[in-house]
Amino acid sequence: MTVAQEQVAVERENGVMVITIDRPAVRNAIDYDTAQALSAAFDELDATPSLSVAVITGSNGTFSAGMDLKAFAAGGKLPRSERGFAGIVRQPPRTPVIAAVEGAAMGGGFEIVLACDLVVAAQDAVFGLPEVRLGQCASGGGLLRLPRRIPYHRAMELILTGERLGAEAAERLGLITRLTPPGGALAEARHLAERIAANGPLAVAASKRVVVESQDWPSSEAFDRQAAIVDPVRNSADAREGAVAFSKKRAPVWQRE
């Protein structure tokens, strides 16, 4: 087992990949090896047809403290891959990803959360972009994504002050998909992932693609661009299977074609 494999645990079951950042001694901070392992997991996720969704979480009651500044200061490489910081922020996977957050998701840890498609968090979880307090900028997607997730002025307050945001406040702002009692985030995220994995995999992937890519589409082209993505799904064997299964009141058997 390599160092990277020790720092990132990966499980695969029933169409769901669960990725756990496992560096509790440093609050699951991300160093170069961890970023490479995360990137490899997301590459596998996108390359494996039998996987429909992923959950990313942290071990020992903490999501992630962000970049491992001590490792970098000691001469380590920047914790990124071609996918960006933590192997996700610049190029998230095409497959949906759910963040399961216990404890703190700070700095780059929060940016990992923002790169995910859904967020399940414990009631005592906290989020923040404290980079300005260190004379830095949240350049791993925090400045780009947070104002698209919550109201502009609230996002600017969090970005410019570096203050923390509690989970209950984050839920009120629409940042969190589901809120759980402490210790329950991963179980709830697994449950949500299983519900997604039960759906047509081609439809799930295409739906995410349209939502993500359409943010930059001119309104005059939106329906035509959407059609190029969803029409192959509409004409697929899985679409026919979904209709037959519905009419016969049975569970569909997806062929991913």
Catalytic center residues: 111, 131
Token pair recorded at residue 220: 């005059």
Token pair recorded at residue 93: 């996977």
Contact 119, 167 (CB under 8 A): no
**Nearby residues of 130 by Cβ (< 8 Å), 6 or more positions away:** 106, 107, 162, 164
Contact 38, 22 (CB under 8 A): no
Token pair recorded at residue 217: 């589409």
* Total count of residues recorded for the chain: 257
Looking at the DSSP assignment, which residues form a beta bridge with residue 128?
Answer: 106, 164
Token pair recorded at residue 138: 């949240």
Sheet holding 118-122, edge to edge: 8-13, 16-21, 53-58, 97-101, 118-122, 178-180
112: amino acid identity, one letter: I
